[in-house]
């Protein structure tokens, strides 16, 4: 897995607060109306499919690469993996993905 800074770009994302897993987040998104938020992506994490699958299994687990992210409240990390949904993580000074979301187009 690599995490790199990128040229900041805007995105419209629907976030879930403290989801346990990707499955729980998708269930929440399908069952409730979640307002989109305008955020700024400032870093990109590129994972293998196996790394992504392990990450989304337990989203409440502390991650070193998230702990080192020093973004503001409106900044987030985009997470990419082959043949997987792009996720957006807004840790808000925590070491785990406190807010995880999907772009409206996803």
Is the pLDDT confidence value at 2 over 80?
A: no
Is the pLDDT confidence value at 105 over 90?
A: no
Q: What is the DSSP string of the chain?
A: -EEEEEEEEEEEEEEEES-SSHHHHHHHHHHS----EEEEEEEEEE--HHHHHHHHH-TTS--HHHHT----TTEEEEEE-TTS--EEEE-TTSSS-SEEEEETT-
Contact indicator for 96, 17 with CB cutoff of 8 Å: no
Is the pLDDT confidence value at 106 over 60?
A: no
In terms of pTM, does the model score above 0.75? yes
């Amino acid at each position: 897995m690599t995490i790199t800074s990128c040229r900041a770009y805007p995105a419209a994302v629907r976030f879930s607060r403290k989801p346990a897993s990707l499955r729980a987040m998708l269930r929440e998104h399908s069952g409730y109306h979640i307002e989109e938020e305008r955020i700024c992506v400032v870093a990109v994490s590129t994972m293998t499919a196996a790394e992504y699958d392990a990450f989304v299994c337990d989203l409440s687990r502390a991650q070193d690469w998230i702990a080192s992210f020093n973004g503001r409240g409106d900044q987030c990390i985009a997470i990419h993996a082959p043949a997987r949904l792009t996720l957006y993580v807004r840790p808000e000074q925590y070491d785990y993905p406190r807010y995880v979301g999907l772009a409206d187009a996803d």
